Each structure stands twice: as structure tokens, then as C-alpha cells.
Chain A
């Protein structure tokens, strides 16, 4: 709808060039070369090539879809193929131009990543001229293939696409988790067939299964509903069996989920943009450190993890209220700036020489004990995982209950319109302070577990970037949505840890993910029902 005035051709050219620029960007920042180390299908396809492939697929698909959506009549097959091919060709042309330019002038003076290795990757080691030609041909062929996908009847297309998508996903997971170096060609094919067949059969039988479920006796239905919860629950509980490193990653994801659920209350529910959220994480962690580490002399008898935990949460909660009081009258950007300052102040105070005798200054606090449950010390990432899952469950439960309570409705009203909320009889002070306090409590809990997980904490662990990360994962997951926090944490914390090639590009990925989300899915990956509804109705033009 947006591009009604453009002709289909200019649309496709624009999409192709956009894809070309994206491919160029990924190449020049070094991401393609870095991720070429990892094989998706051994000897056949590297991850670097897969990334480029995804751009081709996106562009060609976009071109074909717009062609079908914008025109007054159904495009012919030839038109569809031509547009797909053109989009693919344009991406290749941009990349080929890069390769050519790289032969003429020394690009490396400016773009250090424009290396011979990159050019080899782009030209498939066939040299500038032959390789460049092949690159163009490959672009056209890819465009044609993607375009011809739209000719396949949809009951076959979906399984095929899912099967193809499963290859890189499974391969990346397998290599990240088990140090397997890519799938074999045969393995990839088997995977493709299995996933496609499963998807096809499921689509075929879905109706019958639903019907049978509906025909079950009430007790039977209840059992199946339980089973539907039980299966994911069992999987979640078994995840640590994947090993030490995956558990470590999941632990980090879990700590971010805790923080995300807390900030979600402040930002997502109550609409208060808090950029200093890391402060409460830090306070929770430092409280744990001060009360439990044998290094600290001045704070009385040493407590265990469990004894110190309530204090961590309490200190964070009280600080949440203390921060809340001065910013009660502030809105939007003012609030954001003041809270941002608060976060930095806490970090700088922790770093200061002034408090060094008490909390270690830049040396931090070390020798923080692990949590002990009965005879077991939660010393490994695997055991710690269960503690974190428990924390997440408690926090998620509280969040769900609060969301539908009077307080939850008050938060929603304050988020929508502060003045009107007041005029409805909502106590603004109480409502805002409770949001800050609850959010801070969750973050404090996360910080306390973090401290005992690492056994040592330093001021630099509590950088502004943590607040930004948490905010990003909420936005990507979907403001105000609890599943969104989980998905956002997995996507923005879990994924980059698995793909270590990407660690350098983490911030770039965040930026790209945010821009992409704002343009294509502003409601987030797992939107809150209300927001989804609203954006849907806006699209339908049901407004005034």
C-alpha cells in the first residue's frame, strides 16, 4: 500500500539495490568473512555464504510479493521470474562492483575488511572476471529459484521452506552446542526431507487431530492440555544435559529474562522509560557480595546465599522507590535522562576510592560463595540453571498475577494517559512507585544470583550497556509481553553467545534488529495481544 505510486519495476530495482547495500555492508564490516569459518553444510555451504543467501532470498521474495500485491492484475509467470531475477542480479552486481573496485584501487586503506579473502568468498575463488561473471549468474539463478517458489502450491511450499530453513538453524545450533563442524550433505538432505515431511503431514492431519481432541471426554481434554504444558516443561528441565557451555549460555539468558521481566513492568506496563535499570542489578549484586564474601570485614557476620538474598531484593526495592520519588513528575525523555544518570552514578560510586574500603573499588568483591541447596552446592552452570529457572518462574508468576490485578490496570492507565489516569481516581504516586519498586526487585534478584554465579563482581560489570541490552530485548520481544521477554532474551542474549563470530558485531546486530523490528514488526516478535490488535486495526484502516 505504501508504494502505490511506484511502478513495479522501480520497486524491484529499489529492493535489489537495498539488498545489495545490505550485502555490501555485511561484507565490509567483516561479518561475511568471519562467519565463513563456520560450515553450515561441510564443504558445500559456509555461514558467510548463507548470510548472503538470506539476503538474496529476502530481496527476491520481497520483489515478487510486492509485484503481486501492488498490481491491479495477477502478474504472469514470466513477469514474476523476471522480477525475481532482476532483484538477484542487482545484489550480485553491487557485490561484483565491489570485487572489481577492489582490483583497481586499494580499498583496504579505508575498509580493512575488503581483503582478498573476502573477494575469494564472493567470487568463489574463480578470479575477478570469471568469478564476477559467475556471481552475476548465481544472483540471477537464485532470484529465479526464489521467484519460482511462488508457483508451488502452498501446501508443498511451506514444508519445503521450513525444511530448507531447518538446515542452517540445526547446523548452527549443533556446531555451537556440540562443536560439530557443520552438517554433511547427506545429513542436510535427510533433515530437509524429515522436516518437510513432518510439516506436510501435520498440515494434513491438523484438522483431524483437533477434532479428535475436541471429541475427547472433559478429563481427556484436561490431560491433553496438561501434556501440552508438560512437554515444554520437561524440555526446559532437561536442557542442562546439553552440557556445560550451553548451560552457561542459558544461565545468562535466564538472568536477562529476570531483568527483562522487571523492566517490562516499568517500561512495558507503566510506560516509564528507565535507562538506569542496571543500577538495581548492581545493588542486588553488591548487597550479595557485601553480606556473603569473607573479604568484607565491616558488615558483620557472613551470611549464606539464601540468607542474603532477601536483603539483595530489599535493597534494590528500596532504591527503586528512592529513585522513583524525585522522578515522579517527570515524563518521557526527562525521565530517561535522569534514570540514565542514576545508573551511571551507581557504577561510579562503586568504582570510587571513597567506598573502596567497603566495597573494593575497581577491585570489586571476590570470593562470593555459591548457593547451597541441602547437600548440593550450585557450583556448575548446570545446577545454577535450576536456581535461575526457579527465579524466572516466580517472577513470571508474579508478573502474570499483577498484570490482571487492579495495580496492573492502574499501570496501563498511567501508561496510556497520566492526567486522565489521575482523574479516574488512580493514585499516581503509589502506582508509579510500585512500578519502580517491583521492577527493581526483579533486577535485584537477578543481580544477587549473578554475584553468586560469578563469585566476583566488579563495577565494570554494571555498565550502561546492560540497561540498553535489557531495553532492546523488551522492544524486540514485544513491549508489555511476558513471552516476548523470553524470546527477546533468547534472540539478543542467547544467539550472540552461540555465534561467537558475531560477538564483535553484537551492537551492530542489536541496531539492525531494532531498525528491522521498527520497520517490519513494531509490535515485537511476541506482541502483547492488545498491541497486536491495535496495530492490526490500524492496518485495516478501521479508524476514523
Chain B
């Protein structure tokens, strides 16, 4: 049984039909990427999984149990956490307070402390800036914090929405290295990216999303070779 199973979901913003029957499967231990142009519906997909948006049709199963009717905090409690697009750290809180906020749903103090250490090991930069107010961190540090904050929920499934957005290439490399490491430590990842090249290089499998439809899905290596993907997303003629 797949860890996450998204079955033909339709999501609307008022009259706007943003997701037109999307199906995605994520197996335990995988990195799966969802690539697509701006406005394709990638963030909408993640927010629907998280329960911030609700699908009008279709179902979302976590470990075979439906979660599409649940509220966001209930879904977090079941082990799904998101690092949202644009980072959105709590600008007035310092690094530690942001991380604590990520563990809001948990009550196991020892586990929280262990996970905080884990985040600091993954991102030593955050440890150096533990008391700094998040609003004054650099873009790359904020992205690390956003990922760290999501990890603090101790998720089984981590949803990352465009972690490379607006970062210098060298930072993008570093972030993707860490994503690989987080996955190696046992967290399943659904990675949303416009940067298809990077995303496919870390992922096991990928889905290509266009205006609310999945137009292609395959193993990452196959997608990297795919003619259409190369033209549309890897910038080749």
C-alpha cells in the first residue's frame, strides 16, 4: 500500500477549476517530484493534501485511510508536514521559536528536543543563528528554517513547495543535498519544483503537471530523457 495515494482530485478556487482530476502515488521512502510551470497547480495540490484546501471530488488516502475530509491540524497530527512556497517563516520569532512552532502538534518533550538537534545537525547555519529573529535571516537560511520547521512535526511525509525558489545556484545545491539526506534518514518526500533539472536529479519518480492535469509520469531518469520534458522544462530546443 502506498504511503500517500491521491485519486483523481478536483479542487476549485470559487469558479476556477484548478485541479482537474489529479492522481499521485508516493511510496514509503521515496522522493517523488511534481514539476510544472508557474500556475500549473502544484501548490494547490500540496495545499489540498494538507487540508488547507478541500477537493470537490476524489480522495486522498494516507496509509489507506482517507484524510481529505480532515482539518489541517488533524492531518499534521497524522504525519504530513509542509514547508510552504515562499518559506513564510514567522518573521518576528527567532529560529528556535520558529522550530518550536513546527512542533506545536506534539507533546513529547524529549522527542522534540531530539528533533531540534537533528535539524541543527542538518543545518549548522541555523544553530549559529538560533536566537536571531527569522525576518532578518537571508533567503537561504529562511528556506532552511522552513524545512527545519516542517521536520519538527516529525512527519512521515514531508511536502516541499519550491525550496529552490529565489536562491543562488550554490545554495540550491546545498538545499538539495540536505533533501537527499533527510530522505536517507527515512522521511518520504513529495517535492514540488519549477527547477525540473534539480528536482529530477534527486527524485525517484516524477509527475508533470500542466494546467491542473498530470500529463506525464515516470521514473526520474526516464523523465530526464523524455523529449517533451527536455523541451519544456530543461530549457533545451
Contact = CB atoms under 8 A, between A and B. Distances in A.
B88 A422 contact: no
A141 B96 CA distance: 55
Contacts of B92: 416, 530-531, 534
Interface in B32-90: 50-52, 71-73, 76-77, 81-82, 84, 88, 90
Interface in A378-430: 406, 409-410, 412-413, 416-417, 419-420, 422-429
Nearest to B89: A420
Contacts of B52: 419, 422-423
A423 B101 contact: no
B101 A427 contact: no
B76 A425 contact: yes
A533 interface: yes
A432 to B, nearest CB: 13
Interface stretch (A198-206, A436-444, A536-544): A536-544
A427 B76 CA distance: 10
B142 to A, nearest CB: 9
Given A428-B72, A534-B133, A537-B136, A423 B90 contact: no
Interface string B128-171: 00000101111100000000010001000000000000000000
B212 interface: no
Given A413-B104, A423-B82, A534 B135 contact: yes
Contacts of A423: 50, 52, 72, 76, 81-82, 84
A425 B84 contact: no
B93 interface: yes
B111 interface: no
Given A423-B82, A424-B149, A425-B73, A413 B101 contact: yes
B105 interface: yes
**Looking at chain A's contact residues, is the secondary structure mostly helix, strand, loop, or mixed?**
helix
Contacts of A422: 50-52, 72-73
> In which size bucket is the chain B interface?
20 to 34
Contacts of A416: 90-93
Interface residues of A, number: 25
Which of B50, B71, B72 gathers most chain A CB within 10 Å?
B72
B102 interface: yes
A450 B93 CA distance: 38
Given A530-B92, A537-B133, A420 B104 contact: no
Given A423-B82, A424-B76, A425-B76, A543 B135 contact: yes
A424 B133 contact: no
A424 to B, nearest CB: 5
A425 to B, nearest CB: 3
A235 to B, nearest CB: 34
The 5 A-B residue pairs with the shortest CB-CB distance in the complex, in nearest-first order = A425-B105, A425-B76, A422-B72, A425-B73, A427-B73
16 contacts: A409-B100, A409-B101, A416-B90, A419-B52, A420-B84, A420-B90, A422-B52, A423-B52, A423-B76, A424-B104, A424-B149, A426-B104, A427-B73, A428-B72, A544-B136, A544-B138
Given A416-B93, A422-B72, 19 more contacts: A413-B90, A416-B91, A419-B52, A419-B88, A423-B52, A423-B76, A423-B84, A424-B149, A425-B72, A425-B76, A426-B73, A426-B105, A534-B133, A537-B135, A543-B135, A543-B136, A544-B136, A544-B138, A544-B139
